[in-house]
Structure 1
């Protein structure tokens, strides 16, 4: 047993602003911040000539990402976490405000949306995918912090010095009543913070270093993102409490680990294809998004 038994869980109201029937939650704000950060990252890449899109069209790129995230994320949650366990109701599909978004579903939605858009606009998907991968990581930080505020997706029981006791919100985030809700038994890993740091900050700086300092591109950044996120999520699932309706499968694996394993395989395939094709990062005109004939070092 550690000397410090636990760290007090901060009393942060999941509802940022209560306007009566309209309640603005931190969870919703986290998505807004995620898209704002994604826009800033994509715009930075476009200005540096690392995105096959003109600077003034970055907002168009983000629009398709928003559609992919929300449609794919919600349908993914329904497909992966509701239908297999008899919790599906047609009326719940659009009730995003009640919670229930799948990262893996959102990722699939984004990929489908951008593949279709890239083909129509005749944009190299490899370099576009690299930019999107880098722009995704900061958003993961925001959403995981919102999970922490909501006291959801917490970890398994532990005796580490930084363990916490989380309020029991089985039916989704509720307004705080001075922590009057019953507490989830046991001191637990703050796994949301682990994921915020590893999936958000760490992965972002690794990808940024590879892309802007080492000049990696041509689809390879997207491949590294798939592998990196998959490995991080797979590892942290061991200290994250699985969804109560799912539990664990064979070998103690969770649904998240199975889906993350697929991501790792797809990432390896992506890197292999890039290697076989000898894909190189493009250098693009920031004003037109057209590929420039000469390709030098990238700052």
Structure 2
């Protein structure tokens, strides 16, 4: 068993202004995505030109933040919202959903595509390889906050989390950081380094994110107010990941069928 590295969730405190590590992780994810996309934006296959990149990043960031918060409330805490609608705006209390953030980003990309006269899937193919940077940073933020911990275990790398009782638990946040962040980034970055059929990069992202999230949910404690939704093991995270896996397979199939027909 490892000792949990207790870290103050407030990274910077300037009088009444408090900047949390979790918020900084979002900035790190956005900055990392911006930097890497700037290396590819002038590629002949890029759907946008360099001067539009700042606009794209702004749209994506708004999609992540707004969609992530609305998704958390809708998928994970709707009853609390009905009892206290103001909780939607209490972002300092935590609560963001990847699946909601994905919907938010897709909506933002659709608006951006209309404005800049490019296709939605061309944009998602372009940004998909850098999304894992934000996923990695967000899971590290979860670990620092000692939230979303895993099930009890006796593996030697387990932690006793503050608020998680006396039992050692899987550091499921780090599992997700490794799979949804590092592994997914390497897969997508290498795969997208060469021209691929339209929709293929987006499909690969959806497929592998869905698979990785589905697997890690077996080691993660489900939200207490939701618990298991079916079969004594199926969680909300898994239910939301199944459509992603299906979409990923469909997009990859369409991408390569289109390529073979051309």
So what's the TM-score if we normalise by structure 2?
A: 0.94
Q: How does 1:102-117 map to 2 (within 5 A)?
A: 102-117=97-112
Task: Report which structure shows greater RCO (CA 8 Å, sep ≥6).
Answer: 1
Match in the other structure for 1:20: 15
Structure-1 separation of matches of 2:169 and 2:94: 22
- Equivalent residue number for residue 58 of structure 1: 53
Moved more, 189-198 or 126-135: 126-135
Answer yes or no: is 1:190 the counterpart of 2:185: no
Q: How many Å separate the matches in 1 of 2:127 and 2:158?
A: 34
Q: Which residue of 1 aligns with 2:202?
A: 222
Counterpart of 1:100 (choices 84, 95, 104) is: 95
State yes or no: 1:8 paired with 2:3: yes
In structure 2, C-alpha distance between the alignment counterparts of 1:279 and 1:74, rounded to whole Å: 41
Q: Secondary structure at the match of 2:193?
A: helix
Counting only pairs closer than 5 Å after superposition, residues 206-285 of structure 1 correspond to structure 2 as 206-213=187-194, 215-251=195-231, 252-278=233-259
Specify which structure has the higher proportion of helix.
2
CA distance in 2: counterparts of 1:131 and 1:121, whole angstroms: 14
Q: Are the counterparts in 2 of residues 211 and 217 from structure 1 also a CA contact under 8 Å?
A: no
Q: How far apart, in 1, do the equivalents of 2:43 and 2:230 lie?
A: 47
The answer to whether the 8 A contact 1:78-1:88 is kept is no
* Deviations 1:143-172, CA, capped at 9 Å, x for gaps: 10010000001100000010000001xxxx
Separation in structure 1 between the aligned mates of residue 186 and residue 260 of structure 2, nearest angstrom:
23
Number of the residue aligned with 2:153? 158
Structure 2 unaligned spans of 5+: none
Alpha carbons 2:197, 2:255 under 8 Å: kept: no
**Residue of structure 1 aligned with 2:141, choices 126, 135, 146:** 146
CA contact (8 A) 1:127 1:217 kept: no
How many residues align? The count is 260
Q: Unaligned stretches of 5+ in structure 1?
A: 1-5, 169-182, 281-299
The CA distance in 2 between the partners of 1:89 and 1:279, in whole Å, is 54
